[in-house]
């Protein structure tokens, strides 16, 4: 009998995170003066233990036991063999997907949410602020804060808040508070609303609000938490790839030929792919493919530059592919992929030619999602559908060439809170939003005058 | 390090279902003439292979390999130790829960949906009709039909259709069609709408519609599928209890002292509890507790009688606890528990004193659900919250008496599609609906003149 699932025993749960920064140095964050910032300057936003991880170049970092105890509720997650999808496509490829949808919040996000909440509590912090796009991150952090006993306030991108009305209730059930962004609670939010009272919001705006809310809280007991982009966030996600590597071995595979994942801020993607990057550096023929929406083509059409992580320019300058920090992408349903920048580690790996990004329109992604639901049985998040579209393309290429390629893709989350997007898709109401040249050019203008990363 | 999860390896997946009818004979279904019906008469509704299982008194029935291959996507499901909830309650009890929320449809329902869809396809059936309350069953059958290649039409109780707008989209994503019931598509539906155009619907009404739609389809290729109540449905669910038994052993427990589950039609409850009933019959001190809503107190306040499974009286008479087949319960959010009857096997076991039912109001259940979400991290379905309320009561009793009781409860499904109920709960809009004596008396009147089961 064929087993569609490769489980890893609890005893084989990874005990260490893998830090790609040890093998792929990234240019340092810069302050307003254009000089590398002193890590101590970050402690207004993050606690010291997190800042330490953010700048660490240690290859392996031990996972504290109390964090493991919480992660073990759903980890190791299943690696699944997509027999039904393979049969439907008639491909000789062997398709595997790492299923992060089994977490309580339904995505990969709790991997870092639990770690960040725990480190903050260790540092004496009492509550966290954050932003969320599609709501996956805000839900995950609300869940994590309930587990370690912290308060949680979430600024949710307004368009997603309206598209996904139950995300707020989900956060509330875990004790979190969720407000639509831009809000009137911060100076950053009020400034946006003055210019555009109907602003759909963006991750860049919501980050500005959450950072401001953390810094301006007089108690000193509030810090900010980011769900993607930064090194320490990607670090916490590497359990995904470390488990997948071992599970592929158990399935009898030498290595994946192709690794596909969706990339918004880059954390789910890097969590799966980063543990394989040293193999690529060592010459293994593994193609690593981040997939992004053509409505927000950060890796495929934006330069590798220094830019702010938020719209108000409150964060340090990060070396990353960026569409410009004032870019507000069209309101596609994959809210988690609507970010102007990309994780410095993923950006550097792409700039070095270690990753080969690709962009798709949302119609192709929804088509792939429905095919997946009707074969493999799990309803994907709109973000995840980008990875599926990429994997299907690779499987069809393998069919055309007759090669039995091993495809590994990241199933970052389920879409049970995102059914409104499916409803619109079935009703024929969705369209693609390829980014027009002139909009791109206007958006990239904010990068002029900012420093460029040294790629020598 | 404590492991909050007891996994069963794929190789230990049960290969046989346990049939309680072998150890606890139930009175036969009766026809309109009051005489036991010929099983052949059921083949207008169900295919022969299903009818055979329905009337079987074999103790063990082998699970076909193709069904196992689909079940293995998510089975064996985790048994979880509720360390966080125990700590929160300060109880010496050891609380375990069997987590059926990990299936693609988010509940235990796919266990029988997959089996029924497969047997129907084997019998040459092309499409299934069914009813659904909260939507868990309709979703599960749509999922199952997509897996084996059948069409699927779901009549969904109107109040739930309105409370849970995204269930329809979920079914549609799997290729199923969902219409609110009462509908104008059947004679049964039109008759109800004539009397009450604003009817909130009930499972009894929706069953009438689905049965009529199957029988009246001229092609002869359509059959009906029921998500609970009947013997073969309960049979398919016994993988839950069989796995849990083995997992408790792996956790070092001799036996559970108490087993708690929510009971609507009885299938999730029996799936967990039935494999333990022979132990109770053999004298083991295990208390088995079905929990139902006080708004629909089938086991706690209704007689053991013969009654129809549907409002229009289209089904045979079943020996069961029943509030009367015309009973329309208040619109509590636990839509899956709004059924006038109870599975004959659970009813017989209760009548025999092998099970000890209990009823709770929905406010206590939502309170338990929020406590659970904030400790154990998973957001429960409103139905499941009844099991949690029961388990918490047992844990607090153990605290009062100082006994380290072993409590096993059924976590039948997650509530990610039921967040509207949580929203209403947080807004203070919910109330309890204890069933008034006079309403009960009026409802039971339809049982007069029907035969009573022989309990000699």
How far is C-alpha A204 from the geometric centre of its chain's CA atoms? 14
> What is the rounded CA–CA span in Å between residue B407 and residue B409?
7
- Tell me the C-alpha to C-alpha distance, in Å, between residue B351 and each of A360, B24, B300, B455: 61, 11, 11, 9
CB contact under 8 A, B1 and A69: yes
Taking 70 as the threshold, does the pLDDT of residue B455 lie above it?
no
Shortest alpha-carbon distance between residue B54 and chain A (Å): 27
- Min Cα separation B398/chain A (Å): 24
List, in order of start, the domains of chain B with CATH numbers. 45-63+109-229 (3.40.50.1100), 75-106+232-442 (3.40.50.1100)
Chain A CB within 8 Å of residue B72 CB:
yes
Backbone angles phi, psi at A428, to 5 degrees: 75, 20
B356 inside 8 A of chain A by CB:
no
Contacts of B10 in chain A (CB under 8 A): 3, 5, 7
Chain A residues with CB under 8 Å of B420 CB are: 166, 169
Which phi-psi region, left, alpha or beta, contains residue A264 (left: φ > 0; alpha: ψ -120 to 50)? alpha
pLDDT-derived band at B2, boundaries 50, 70, 90? confident
- Digit-coded pLDDT (tens) for B332-388: 888 889 899 999 999 999 999 999 999 999 999 999 999 999 999 999 999 999 999
Give chain B as a 3 state SS string: CCCCEECCCHHHCCCEEECHHHCCCCCCCECCCCCECCHHHHHHCCCHHHHHHHHCCCCEEECCHHHHHHHCCCCCCCEEECHHHHHHHCCCCEEEEEEHHHCCCCECCHHHHHHHHHHHHHCCCCEEEEEECCCHHHHHHHHHHHHHCCEEEEEEEHHHHHHCCHHHHHHHHCCCEEEEECCCCCHHHHHHHHHCCCCCCCHHHHHHHHHHHHHCCCCCCEEECCCCCCHHHHHHHCHHHHHHHHHHHHCCCCCCCEEEEECCCCHHHHHHHHHHHHHHHCCCCCEEEEEEECCCCHHHHCCEEEEECCCCCCCCEEEEEECCCCCCCCCCCCHHHCCCECCHHHHHHHHCCCCCCEEECHHHHHHHHHHHHHHCCCCECHHHHHHHHHHHHHHHHHHHHCCCCEEEEEECEECCCCHHHHHHHHCCCCCCCCCCHHHHHHHHHHHCCCCCCCCC
Instruction: Give the per-residue pLDDT at B32.
Output: 81
Which candidate in B113, B377, B414 is best for mutational testing of the A interface (most A CBs within 10 A)?
B377
Per DSSP, helices labelled H in A217-309 are 231-237, 239-250, 267-273, 277-281, 298-301
pLDDT tens for A323-342 read 999 998 888 888 889 899 99
How many other C-beta atoms can be found within 10 angstroms of the C-beta atom of residue B164? 25
Under an 8 A CB cutoff, do A166 and B419 touch? yes
Across the strands, what pairs with A17? Answer: A61
**What 8-state DSSP symbol labels residue A352?**
T
CA distance A254 to A406: 9
Nearest by CB to A416, from B65, B106, B375: name it.
Answer: B106
Q: In whole angstroms, what is the distance from residue B396 CA to residue B388 CA?
A: 12
Omega cis (within 30) before B364: no
Residue of chain B whose Cα is closest to the Cα of A68: B1
- 3-class DSSP state for residue A454? coil
Q: Which residues of B touch A166 (CB under 8 A)?
A: 416, 419-420, 423
Arithmetic mean of pLDDT, B382-395: 98
Q: How many residues does chain B have?
A: 456
Task: Please tell me the distance from the alpha carbon of residue B41 to that of residue B51, in angstroms, as a whole number.
Answer: 9
Check: CB of residue A57 under 8 Å from CB of residue A48.
Answer: no
pLDDT digits (tens, 9 = 90+) for A274-295: 999 999 999 999 999 999 999 9
Mean per-residue pLDDT for B31-47? 90
Instruction: Find where tokens 């009462």 sit.
Output: B182
Residue A376: closest C-alpha in chain B: B147
User: What contacts B247, CB < 8 A, 6 or more positions away?
Assistant: B6, B7, B8, B76, B79, B96, B98
CA distances A216 to A122, A152, A178, A188, A210, Å, are 22, 15, 18, 12, 10
- For A100-111, the pLDDT digits (tens) are 999 999 999 999
Beta bridge partners of A177: A153
Residue B203: pLDDT band with limits 50, 70, 90: confident
Yes or no: say if A392 and A89 are a contact pair by the CB < 8 Å rule: yes
- DSSP for A32-82 reads TTSSBPPGGGGGGTS-HHHHHHHH---SEEEPPHHHHHHHTTTPSPPEEE-
Contacting residues for A121 by C-beta, under 8 A, at least 6 apart: A148, A149, A150
Nearest to A373 among B173, B375, B416 (CB): B173
The two three-digit tokens of residue B330, written as one number: 């208040």
Tokens of A450: 């900012």
Q: Which of residues 176-235 of A touch B (CB under 8 A)?
A: none
Does A419 contact B5 at a Cβ distance shorter than 8 Å? no
**Chain A residues touching residue B106 (CB < 8 angstroms):** 416
Q: What percent of chain B has pLDDT over 70?
A: 100
Using an 8 Å Cβ cutoff, are B214 and B222 in contact? yes
Contacting A residues, span 76-135, partner chain B, CB-CB under 8 Å: 80, 84, 102, 104, 106
Supply the pLDDT for residue A336: 87
Q: Which two tokens stand for residue B261?
A: 């589950």
pLDDT tens, A368-420?
999 999 999 999 999 999 999 999 999 999 999 999 999 999 999 999 999 99
Which residue of B10, B417, B426 is in closest CB contact with A3?
B10
Tokens of B323: 């509030």
* Mean pLDDT, residues A20-37: 93
* pLDDT over 90 (residue A189): yes
State the burial class of residue B131 (Cβ atoms within 10 Å of its Cβ: 0-12, 13-18, 19+). Answer: buried
Closest CA relative to residue A69, chosen from B2, B88, B231, B235? B2
What pairs with residue B30 in β-bridges? B36, B317
Provide the pLDDT confidence category of residue A164 given band limits of 50, 70 and 90. Answer: confident
> Residues B300-336: pLDDT tens digits?
999 999 999 988 888 899 999 999 999 988 888 888 8
Interchain proximity A174–B84, CB inside 8 Å: no
> How buried is residue B166: exposed, middle or buried, by Cβ count under 10 Å (0-12/13-18/19+)?
buried
What whole-number distance in Å separates Cα of residue B100 and Cα of residue B331? 25
* For range B195-220, the mean pLDDT: 91
CB B111 within 8 A of CB B240: yes
Cβ atoms within 10 Å of B366's Cβ, excluding its own: 23
Region B89-96: mean pLDDT is 98
Q: For residue range A239-250, what is the model confidence (pLDDT) as tens digits?
A: 999 999 999 999
pLDDT at A134 over 90: no
pLDDT at residue A54 is higher than 60: yes
For residue B169, pLDDT over 90 is answered with yes
What ipTM does this complex have?
A: 0.95
The span from the CA of B146 to the CA of A377, in Å, is 8
With a cut of 60, say whether residue A456 has pLDDT above it.
no
d(CA A411, CA B220): 40
Edge-to-edge strand order for the sheet containing A79-81? A5-6, A79-81, A94-99, A406-411, A258-262, A287-293, A358-360
- Backbone torsions φ then ψ of A342, nearest 5 degrees: -150, 145
* Residue entry with tokens 């035969």: B451
Chain A, chain B: beta-carbon pairs less than 8 Å apart:
113
Query: How far apart are alpha carbons A267 and A346 in whole angstroms?
Result: 9
CA distance A157 to A152: 16
Best of B79, B109, B114, B173 to disrupt the A interface (most A CBs within 10 Å) is B173
Q: Using an 8 Å CB-CB cutoff, list chain B residues near A172.
A: 422, 426
Q: Would you say residue A28 has pLDDT above 80? A: yes
Q: Residue with structure tokens 């199923």?
A: B176
Asked if A426 has any chain B CB less than 8 Å from its own CB, the reply is yes
**Partners of residue B1 in chain A, C-beta under 8 Å:** 65, 68-69, 72
Q: Tell me which of A377, A378, A411, A429 to substitute to probe the interface with B (most B C-beta atoms closer than 10 Å).
A: A377
A142 has a chain B CB within 8 A of its CB: no
Region at A283 (left for phi over 0; alpha for psi -120 to 50; beta for the rest): left
Q: What is the rounded average pLDDT of the residues A198-219?
A: 91
B311/B308 Cα distance (integer angstroms): 7
Average pLDDT, chain B: 95
Angle A164-A330-A299 from CA coordinates, rounded to 5°: 110
Interface test with A, best of B70, B97, B373, B414 (most A CBs within 10 A): B373
* Arithmetic mean of pLDDT, B11-31: 96
pLDDT of residue A425 exceeding 70, the answer is yes
Residue A133: φ, ψ to 5°: -95, -90
Rg of chain B over all Cα atoms, to the nearest angstrom: 20
Please list every residue in chain B whose beta carbon sits closer than 8 Å to the beta carbon of residue A7. Answer: 7, 9-10
Q: What percentage of chain A carries pLDDT values higher than 70?
A: 100
- pLDDT at B218 (0 to 100): 84
The predicted structure's pLDDT at residue A290: 98
Q: Do A422 and B169 touch (CB under 8 A)?
A: yes
Per-residue pLDDT, B312: 84
Question: How is A390-415 classified by DSSP, letter by letter?
Answer: HHHHHHHHHHHHT---EEEEEE-BB-
- Residues in chain B within 8 Å Cβ distance of A74: 5
Is the CA virtual torsion A331, A440, A182, A174 positive or negative? positive
pTM, 2 dp: 0.96
- The helix (H) or strand (E) run that includes residue A252 is none
A137 interfaces chain B, CB cutoff of 8 Å: no
Chain A touched by B172 (CB under 8 Å): yes
The answer to whether the CB atoms of B175 and A374 lie below 8 A apart is yes
Flag whether pLDDT at A122 surpasses 90. yes
What mean pLDDT do residues A23-28 have? 95
> What is the Cα–Cα distance from A114 to A118, expressed in whole angstroms?
6
Measured between its terminal Cα atoms, the distance across chain A in Å is 54
pLDDT tens across A297-327, in order? 999 999 999 999 988 888 899 999 999 999 9
Note whether A62 contacts B: Cβ–Cβ < 8 A. Answer: no
Residue in chain B lying closest to A80 (CA)? B73
Average pLDDT of span A91-107 = 97
User: What is the band of A17 on the pLDDT scale with cuts at 50, 70, 90?
Assistant: very high
CA atoms within 13 A on the CB side of B301: 21
| Whether the predicted pLDDT of A357 surpasses 70 | yes
Instruction: Name the helix (H) or strand (E) containing A307.
Output: strand A304-308
Q: What pairing do the DSSP bridges indicate for beta strands A177-181 and A222-224?
A: unpaired
């Amino acid at each position: 009998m064929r087993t569609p699932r490769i489980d890893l025993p609890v005893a084989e749960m990874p005990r260490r995170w893998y830090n790609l920064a040890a093998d792929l140095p990234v240019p340092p964050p810069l302050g307003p003066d254009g000089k590398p910032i002193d890590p101590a300057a970050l402690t207004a936003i993050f606690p010291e233990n997190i800042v330490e991880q953010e700048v660490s170049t240690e290859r392996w970092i031990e996972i504290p036991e109390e964090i493991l105890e919480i992660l073990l509720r759903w980890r190791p997650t299943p690696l699944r063999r997509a027999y039904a999808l393979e049969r439907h496509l008639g491909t000789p490829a062997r398709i595997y997907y790492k299923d992060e949808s089994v977490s309580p919040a339904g995505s990969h996000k709790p991997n870092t949410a639990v770690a960040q909440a725990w480190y903050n509590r260790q540092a004496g912090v009492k509550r966290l602020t954050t932003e969320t796009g599609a709501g996956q991150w805000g839900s995950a952090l609300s869940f994590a804060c309930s587990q370690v006993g912290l308060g949680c306030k979430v600024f949710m991108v307004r368009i997603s808040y309206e598209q996904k009305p139950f995300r707020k209730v989900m956060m509330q059930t875990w004790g979190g508070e969720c407000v639509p962004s831009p809000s009137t609670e911060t100076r950053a939010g009020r400034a946006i609303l003055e210019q555009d009272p109907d602003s759909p919001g963006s991750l860049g705006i919501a980050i500005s609000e959450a950072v401001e809310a953390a810094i301006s809280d007089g108690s000193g007991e509030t810090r900010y938490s980011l769900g993607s982009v930064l090194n320490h966030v990607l670090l916490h996600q590497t359990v995904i790839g470390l488990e997948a590597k071992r599970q592929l071995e158990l399935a009898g595979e030498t290595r994946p030929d192709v690794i596909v994942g969706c990339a918004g801020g880059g954390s789910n993607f890097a969590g799966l792919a980063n543990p394989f990057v040293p193999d690529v550096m060592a010459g293994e023929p593994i193609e690593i493919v981040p997939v992004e929406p053509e409505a927000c083509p950060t890796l495929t059409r934006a330069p590798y530059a220094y830019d702010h992580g938020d719209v108000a320019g409150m964060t340090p300058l990060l070396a990353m592919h960026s569409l410009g920090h004032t870019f507000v992408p069209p309101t596609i349903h994959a809210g988690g992929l609507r970010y102007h920048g990309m994780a410095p580690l993923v950006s550097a790996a792409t700039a070095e030619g270690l990753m080969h990004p690709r962009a798709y329109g949302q119609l192709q992604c929804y088509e792939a999602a429905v095919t997946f639901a009707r074969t493999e049985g799990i309803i994907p998040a709109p973000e995840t559908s980008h990875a599926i579209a990429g994997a299907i393309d690779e499987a069809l290429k393998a069919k055309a060439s007759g090669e039995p390629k091993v495809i590994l893709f990241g199933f970052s989350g389920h879409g049970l809170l995102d059914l409104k997007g499916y409803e619109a898709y079935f009703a024929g109401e969705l369209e693609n939003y390829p980014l027009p040249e002139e909009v791109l050019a206007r958006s990239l203008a904010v990068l002029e005058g900012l420093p460029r990363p040294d790629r020598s």
